[in-house]
Structure 1
Amino acid sequence: MAELRITIGGREFDVACQEGEERYLTAAAAMLDTEAQSLSQQLGRIPEARMLLMAGLMLADKAAGAEDNVRQLRARVEELETQLAAARANPVKVEVPVLPAGVTETLAEIAARAEAMADRVEEAAAS
């Protein structure tokens, strides 16, 4: 077991945790300390047990809000996945108009004329 000294609300505590879990405990203690500091600033010095209880409740409230957000986001993801599956099952058909055969021939003729004119301009410029 690893032994750590953490500070919460200006008070130090010695705690133990499993080897390798130190950084998680330190991060959790920092979150609790942030809430405890906020309480200390608002209420002044309060008994240790009350400070820890209130800081824990504040964190629990934040966690409950985060869980609600996660639930809403999961519901939205499911809704979007359902819409995507429906769209894949029933693809929208788009009709692309086909150019009449005469148009392509006309465009080819215009391109040939443009090339011929470009050749004449180049010859005139070279002379």
Structure 2
Amino acid sequence: MAQVDFNIGHKDYTLACQEGEERLLKRAAALLDGEAQQILQQAGRMPEARLLLLAGLMLADRTSALEDRAASAERELARLKTNPQRVEVPVIPDSVSEALAELAARAEALAQKAEDSLTS
């Protein structure tokens, strides 16, 4: 078994974990320590058990909010899958495209003619 050393708040810990899970344990400890550090900045030093409880509750609250958002997104995705909105993209006929290109060319020619007459 692997052992991981980490710090939460103002205390060092060592925990055993399965081989390959060290990174996950360090990440979880870092999240808990981040919450603990915020609590310590706001409230100052406090007993270890209270600090861990408050940090855990803050993480649980954040996790709950994320789970609610994920559930809402999943419901919206399921709704869209079962009732997709039809999107129609208009297709411009080639004849209209050609006519617009011809009009643009004429407009450019007229603009050039007007510009030339102003400069001469």
Partner of 1:45: 45
| Partner Cα distance (2:57, 2:18) in 1 | 25
Note if 1:71 corresponds to 2:71: yes
Match of 1:20, SS state, is coil
Runs of 4+ in 1 over 3 A off after TM superposition: none
Question: TM-score normalized by structure 1?
Answer: 0.66
Residue correspondences, number? 92
1:54 corresponds in structure 2 to 54
How far residue 45 of structure 1 moved from its aligned partner, in angstroms, is: 0.5
Give the whole-Å Cα distance in 2 for the aligned partners of 1:58 and 1:5.
23
Q: Equivalent residue for 1:4? A: 4
CA distance in 1, matches of 2:49, 2:6: 16
Matched ranges for 1:77-96 at <5 A: 77-84=77-84, 87=86
Structure 2: segments with no counterpart, 5+ residues: 96-120
The residue number in structure 1 matching 2:34 is 34
The Cα of 1:10 is off from its aligned counterpart by: 2.4
> RMSD of the alignment, in Å?
2.1
Post-superposition offset of 1:56: 0.4
Supply the distance in 1 between the matched residues of 2:43 and 2:11 (Cα, whole angstroms). 16
Q: Give the letter for the 2:75 counterpart.
A: A
- Percent identity over paired residues: 47
SS of corresponding position for 2:5: strand
Distance apart, 1:83 and its partner CA: 1.9
1:55 partner SS:
helix
CA positional deviation for 1:41: 0.5
